[in-house]
Each structure stands twice: as structure tokens, then as C-alpha cells.
Structure 1
Amino acid sequence: MLNRLLPFTIISIIFSACVQKDIKQFVTEDRVDIRTISPDSTDFSELQAIGKAIGDSRIVMLGEQDHGDSPTFLAKTRLVKYLHEQKGFNVLAFESDFFALNEGWDRLEKHKSKIDPFLLNNIFSIWTKCSSCDDLLNHYVPKTYRDKKPLIISGFDNQVHGLYSATNLKTFIDNYLKGKKINYANSEKYKIDFISFIDSIKYNKNLQKQRNFKEALQQINSELSVSDTTAFEIMLLKSLKALTESEISFLSKSSNYSEIRDKQMAENLKWLLKYKFPKEKIIVWAHNAHILKHPELIKKSKWNNWTVMKTMGSFFTADQHLNEQTYILGFNSRIGTSGIVTIDKKFTIEPPAKNSFETWIPETVPYSFVNFKQFREENPGKKKHFLMKGVYHFTDSASWTDIYDGIFYIREMYPCASVVK
């Protein structure tokens, strides 16, 4: 019997080897070229390949190589519209103020005259001041509320920067803690070390004051009821704790300050999924450097230290259940210039490396999508490093097919222009 099966086994192995492709061949043959990134285009038929790749995923993360990449923002805007209108995604969560974009947004009167200034003042200005985000933030989001199919805005960043936070965070936290009858909230140290410091956590460079604030938080947490662990206020306190720990790490010249932030962003995102939006599908808007998973698969380069630093994406997808529900789409480009709208200096993007991902796509192709998840499924266990501008606008060697589920390629990058009001 064994002798009879042997020829079939050999044939099966040979057939499997023939079916499998290396990544260069896969990119060459299986990529899906895209005609336009214009947010004005209402023909979503060419985005169906991305929709099919996303499948039933509940979370889609959209990255960017730099916080000033104009074509990327246009492409992301078009994808947000497609995901909202045809794939049932009703929440758009930004890498911005967790408190302002949840508590503040929930309390906001949803009319354009209110939405426009709120988003301007509470989402990072790298996006709100970029003309390529104008269509999304100042037109599309308000329009969804007139159309009775609202796109809910949210945020998951523990950095406190929004105007709403500057105006309301201190009072919100104080009222909550006094309502919980926290004894420490009646002390002088509470006023000095905690309440008076909340608004300056991100900006105060006094190491001892940061440590005092952390100690105050620990005292508060020791008095809080364990029954409140899923409350928004508890997540907010955890975010503030992570923020001050990140600042302490930075001021102490430690190397894990970014990782502390990314871990808390992952926790905030998990909370949004489980408790605030348990029945909704969520789009995540952030930098490639935050959404990527398996940073250990990026070879250490002179620009980064990804081999030792974990990211939001890696923390988030460490939960296998969440990993199965998530599609991570990184963004990539070939040539051009970049720079953030709030900074005058712009820079030329380095040319693609020889035999890199960017060179496998013909120069005549303006935009393309490559489904790395499909490659993984067709080539199980096949990890191979190749060159690609996979995090920022410079080339690294990595097993990129395990780091992203897909890549949106843009031939020519250029920086944002400022919004003209």
C-alpha cells in the first residue's frame, strides 16, 4: 500500500512546489492596479479587490509612511468612504486624543457648524491642516450625519492634546473621583501633584513632578472599586498613567517611551472594540510604525530599532482572536518628496533600492494593491526577507508579508498643502 501511495505523494509535492510563488513573482502577477485615489470618485468597483481581501474583518488599520503624505491621505479618504458605504464600517478611530474624541465627540451636537471646529481642534493638526484631509473631515463626516448614516469619530491615543481636553479633562476627572468618594481627592497632595498637573503631562519636563503625578495615580487606583474596571473613566486613568510613564522614560533617557505609548494605544483600541462599539466595525487611521505587527521581523537598520521595540499592531494582534478579525494595510511609495504640513522643511524620498518591492511594479503604474495575506495563505510558513520602504520613506529588509496583511503602493509621493479657509 505504501509503495502505491509514494508516486501520488511525490506528485503532490511537485504540484505544490509549482503552485507556490516567490514574493517577486506574486507581486508581478497578482497585484491589483488602481486607477485613481481621488476622493471624488464614487465608482468603488476597482476597490473590490481590497474589500475581498478584508473579507469579514472587523478592524481595518490604514497606515502612512509619514504624517504629511498627501496622496496617502487622499487614498485613505477614498478607502474610508468605500468601507463606510459598502463594507459596514461605521467608526473611524484616529491616532489622536482618547478623551477628546470619545467623551467630547459623544457630547457634540452633530451639525457641520459644530463638527468642523471640533475636529480641527481635537485631531492632530498634521491631518486637520492638510488640504488632502479636507474632503474627509470637513465635508464627508458632516454629510454622513445629514444622510442619517453617521460615521462616528473616535480616538485611541493616550497623548492629551485636544482643546476639549484642555477645557474639560481636569473637571471630568475631578468630578468622577469625588463622586467615587476617593479619600485622596480631599488631600492637598491631590490638588498639587495630580489635579494641577493633568493639563501639562505631555509638556512638563520636570521629572520629579512626573513621578509625583504617577504616585498620585497609584494612590487613586488603590482606592477605586474593582467593579469599575471596564468604565471609560478607568481607561482614561490608565491612559494618563501610560502618558506619564512614557514621559518619565523619555526624561530618564530610557528607550521604551514609544513602546509604552503603543501598548496603551492597543489597550484603548481593545476597549473601544469590546465595550464602546461591541457591534461596530472600526477603521483605524495611524502611522505605519504603529499599526505594523511582528517588528522583530525587520532587520535592524541605522534608522530604527524595530527588533527590540513593540508596536500597537504587535500588542493588538498578540490576541489571536483580534488578529483574526484585523486587516492591516500599510502604505508604500516609490519616489517623490515628503514633509509634514506644520513644518516648513520638506525632503526628497530616497530612490528605490535595487531589486526592491518598488521596482517589481512597473513605473507606469500609479497605484497598486498587493494582498500579502493571500501570499501567506498560498505559501504557508514561507518567510523571506526582501527590500521595501515598509515603515517610513527609506528601505529596510524584512519579512514584510508577515508584518502587513496588504500594501497600498503609490508611485509618486508629495507633501500636504495647507488648508485654505
Structure 2
Amino acid sequence: MLNRLLPFVFILIIFSSCAQKDIKLFVAEERIDIQTISPDSTDFSELQAIGKAIGNSRVVMLGEQDHGDSPTFLAKTRLVKYLHEQKGFNVLAFESDFFALNEGWDRLEKQKSKIDPFLLNNIFSIWTKCNSCDDLFYHYVSKTFSDKKPLIISGFDNQVHGLYSREKLKTFLDNYLKSKKINYTNSKKYKIDFLSFIDSITYNKNLQKQRNFKEALQQINRELSVTDTTTFETMLLKSLNALTKSEISFLSKGSDYNQIRDKQMAENLKWLLKYKFPKEKIIVWAHNAHILKHPELIKKSKRPNGDEMKTMGNFFTADQQLNEQTYILGFNSRVGTSGIVTIDKKYPADPPAKNSFETWIPETVPYSFVNFKQFREENPGNKKHFLMKGVYHFTDSASWTDIYDGIFYIREMYPCALVVK
């Protein structure tokens, strides 16, 4: 009987193998071409395919190849509007100051005259001083607070850089720790090693002072004996601990300083989703290099500075439940120029490699969306590597369909123009 079944099993295997669609053919047949990325466009019909791909996800992560990619920012702004108005996403969380964009934003009077300067001073200037983000930051966000559905701003980065943090973080923590009757707050070391160092923690290159700050945090945590890990103050202290560990690793020429930061950003994002916004959907605005999952599937998966890639998206989606609730949309481009708006030097993007993802899309197409999640579902087990500029503006070989849930393609990249406020 077994011998009789073998030919049929063999035929079934061959048929199944033939039914597996090649990724190049999938892109040709299933991509959704998009005509405009203008944030002024109120016709969201051509974005519905992206909405369908996102489905009931609670988290949508929007990437970028570089922090100066003007068309990407326009496309992301349009997507933010669509997700907010059509898909019920009411929180927009940035790769920016966790303290300032949570404590500061919560206390902010929600009027345009207050919102605009707050965003300018507390979200990284690579975005707030870019002309392509002007509509989002200085028109749309404040406008939603005159509507019935305000767009809440938040942040998940443990780097301390915002104006609100510079003005309020020290007092906030001092008051909190004294309210908990921490004996260490009465010591001279507390004032020298902890309080006086907070304002410069991100940029201070004094290794000994960083180590002293870390020891101060350890002493505080020993006395605090926190059992409630759901509070904002607990997450804030964890963020500061990760920040100083990352700085110490960098100054000591370690290899894990980016990984420390990404892991904490993932923890902060989990906290936002579970405790601060348990009933909300969240849009995440960050770099491709932070949101991608499975960086180990990229050949020679190293960052430009040489250290191993372990990403926020990797840490975040390691939780299977969160993975099922998250849609990760990477951004990709064919040709052009890039560069950060606050730095004068710009650079040409690498041309597309032969037989790369970029060449599979006709040159006449300005923008396109490819749903890698659909490809995975229709072609289980297909993890073939192909060439794509999937993280930065240079080509890598990877199983990209397992790294992103979708890709937003842009034909021509160009850098932001500086907006002076």
C-alpha cells in the first residue's frame, strides 16, 4: 500500500513546490501602485490596500531609510492621517524622548500656540525642522484637538534630548525619590553623581561620570525596592539605566550600545501599549533599522559602525502576541539623494543592484506598496534571499519578506529642506 502511495506523495510535493510563487512574480502581479504621497490629498481610496493589509493590528510601525528622506516623510504623514481618520489609530509615538513626550505632553495645554513649539523642541529636529514634516507637526496635530478625535503624541526613545526634559526631568525625579523617602537623596553623592549629571547624560563623554551615574541608579533601585513595574516612574528609571549602560558601552568601545538602546525602546513601547494606552492603536515613527524584525536574516547583518544588529522590532515581536498585533512597514527607494536636514553634507543613494527589488518595479511607477505578509501566507516556507535597499540606501541580500510585513516603494529620494521656526 505504501509503495502505491509514494508516486502520489511525490506528485503532491512537486505540485506544492510549483504552486509556490516567486517573489519577483509576486511583486509584478500583486503590488499596489500609488499615485500621490501628498499630505493634502484627502482621497484615501488608494491607501485602502495598505489598510486591508494592516487589518486589525494594534501597532503599525513606519520606517525610513535615512533620517532626512523627504518623500518618505510626506508618505508617512499621509499614512498617519489615513490611519488616524479611517483606521482608528489615535496615538503617534516617535523615536524621541520618552520623558518629554509622555510626562510633558500629558501636562501640555492642547492649544496650537502650545502644541507647535512643544513638538519643535521635544521631537528630534531631523523631523521637526524638515519642510516635509511641516504639515504634520504644525497643522495636523493641533487641528485634531479641535475635532472629536485628537491625535495623541508619545515617545519611546530612552535618549534624553527634549527641552522639557532639560527643564523638568531633574525636579521630577528628585521630587519622586524624596516622596519615596530614599535615604540616598540626603547624601552628597546623590547631588553630585545623580542630580547634577541628569541634564548631560546623553552627550557626556566622561566615562567615569557615566559609571558614577549608573552606580547611583543602582543604589536608588536597591532602596526603592519597586514591586509595581507598571508605573511611569519605574519605566523612566529603567530607561535612564539603559541610556547610561549604552553610553558606557560606546565609550568603552563595546559592541552592544545600539542593542541596549533598541531593547529599552521595545520595553518602553510595550509599556505604552499595555499600561498607558491599553485601549488605543499606536502608530510608531522610527528608522527602518529600529523597526525591522529578524535582522539575522540579513547577510552580514551589521550596522554601518560595525556592531551586530539587534533591533527594537526584533525584541518587540519576539512576543508572539505582540507580533500578531503588529504590522511593520519598511520604506525603500530606487534612486536619488539623501542626508539629514541639520547636516549640510548630502550623499547619493546607491543605484539599484541588478535584479534587485527596485528593478522589479517599472520606472514609470512613482510609488508602490507590496504586502510581504500576504506573500508569506501564500508561500509558507519560502525564505529565499533577494537584493533590496531594505534598511539604508545601500543594497543588502536578505529574506526581506520575513523582515517586514510590507514595503512602501518610492522611485526618487531627495533630502528635506530646512524649516526655520
Task: State if a TM-score over 0.5 links the two structures.
Answer: yes
Alignment correspondent of 2:237? 237
Instruction: Give 1:360-399 correspondences, 5 Å limit.
Output: 360-399=360-399
Separation in 1 of the partners of 2:301 and 2:354? 17
Conserved? CA contact 1:296–1:308, under 8 Å? no
The answer as to 2:255 corresponding to 1:255 is yes
Letter of the 2:171 counterpart: T
Q: Deviations over 1:83-140 (max 9, x none)?
A: 0011110000000000000000000000000000000000000000001001111111
SS in 2 for 1:143: helix
Instruction: Give 1:198-213 correspondences, 5 Å limit.
Output: 198-213=198-213
Displacement after TM superposition at 1:22 (Å): 1.0
The answer as to 2:141 corresponding to 1:141 is yes
Conserved? CA contact 1:389–1:395, under 8 Å? yes
Alignment correspondent of 1:35? 35
Q: Deviations over 1:237-263 (max 9, x none)?
A: 000001101110011011111111001
Displacement after TM superposition at 1:301 (Å): 6.8
Separation in 1 of the partners of 2:52 and 2:231? 35
The answer as to 2:267 corresponding to 1:267 is yes
Separation in 2 of the partners of 1:17 and 1:318? 29
Separation in 1 of the partners of 2:92 and 2:67? 17
Conserved? CA contact 1:89–1:280, under 8 Å? yes
Separation in 2 of the partners of 1:259 and 1:227? 26
Conserved? CA contact 2:256–2:308, under 8 Å? no
The answer as to 2:103 corresponding to 1:103 is yes
Letter of the 2:257 counterpart: Y
Alignment correspondent of 2:296? 296
Alignment correspondent of 1:163? 163
Conserved? CA contact 2:226–2:234, under 8 Å? no
Alignment correspondent of 1:61? 61
Displacement after TM superposition at 1:20 (Å): 1.6
Conserved? CA contact 2:341–2:417, under 8 Å? yes
Alignment correspondent of 2:72? 72
Letter of the 2:149 counterpart: K
SS in 2 for 1:165: helix
Separation in 2 of the partners of 1:306 and 1:17? 38
Question: Taking structure 1 as reference, are residues 302 and 86 closer, same or farther at Cα in structure 2, changes over 3 Å only?
Answer: closer
Alignment correspondent of 2:310? 310
Letter of the 2:152 counterpart: I
Separation in 2 of the partners of 1:278 and 1:244? 29
Question: Taking structure 1 as reference, are residues 230 and 90 closer, same or farther at Cα in structure 2, changes over 3 Å only?
Answer: same
Separation in 1 of the partners of 2:10 and 2:208? 69
Alignment correspondent of 2:18? 18
SS in 1 for 2:352: coil
Alignment correspondent of 1:341? 341
SS in 1 for 2:199: helix
SS in 1 for 2:336: strand
Separation in 1 of the partners of 2:315 and 2:226? 24
Separation in 2 of the partners of 1:6 and 1:246? 57
SS in 1 for 2:95: strand
Letter of the 1:146 counterpart: S
Displacement after TM superposition at 1:18 (Å): 3.4
Q: TM-score, normalised to structure 1's length?
A: 0.97
Separation in 2 of the partners of 1:224 and 1:357? 52
Question: Taking structure 1 as reference, are residues 8 and 47 closer, same or farther at Cα in structure 2, changes over 3 Å only?
Answer: farther
SS in 2 for 1:226: coil
Separation in 2 of the partners of 1:412 and 1:314? 29
Conserved? CA contact 2:94–2:285, under 8 Å? yes
Displacement after TM superposition at 1:350 (Å): 1.2
Question: Taking structure 1 as reference, are residues 163 and 303 closer, same or farther at Cα in structure 2, changes over 3 Å only?
Answer: closer
Conserved? CA contact 2:256–2:307, under 8 Å? no
C-alpha RMSD of matched pairs (Å): 1.6
Conserved? CA contact 2:293–2:314, under 8 Å? yes
- Percent same amino acid at aligned positions? 88
Conserved? CA contact 1:105–1:154, under 8 Å? yes
Separation in 1 of the partners of 2:233 and 2:69? 34
Displacement after TM superposition at 1:204 (Å): 1.1
Which 5+ residue runs of structure 1 have no aligned equivalent?
none
Q: Deviations over 1:358-382 (max 9, x none)?
A: 0000000000001111111111111
Conserved? CA contact 1:62–1:329, under 8 Å? yes
SS in 2 for 1:103: helix
The answer as to 2:189 corresponding to 1:189 is yes
Separation in 1 of the partners of 2:278 and 2:8? 49
Separation in 2 of the partners of 1:125 and 1:361? 33
Separation in 2 of the partners of 1:236 and 1:113? 28
Conserved? CA contact 2:54–2:327, under 8 Å? yes
Which 5+ residue runs of structure 2 have no aligned equivalent?
none
Q: Deviations over 1:3-56 (max 9, x none)?
A: 786676555444433332111111111111111100011111111111111111
Separation in 1 of the partners of 2:266 and 2:117? 27
Displacement after TM superposition at 1:203 (Å): 1.4
Conserved? CA contact 2:235–2:268, under 8 Å? yes
Alignment correspondent of 1:412? 412
Separation in 2 of the partners of 1:4 and 1:218? 70
Alignment correspondent of 1:152? 152
SS in 1 for 2:394: coil
Q: Deviations over 1:320-354 (max 9, x none)?
A: 11111111000000001111110111111111000
Letter of the 2:141 counterpart: V
Letter of the 1:177 counterpart: L
Q: TM-score, normalised to structure 2's length?
A: 0.97
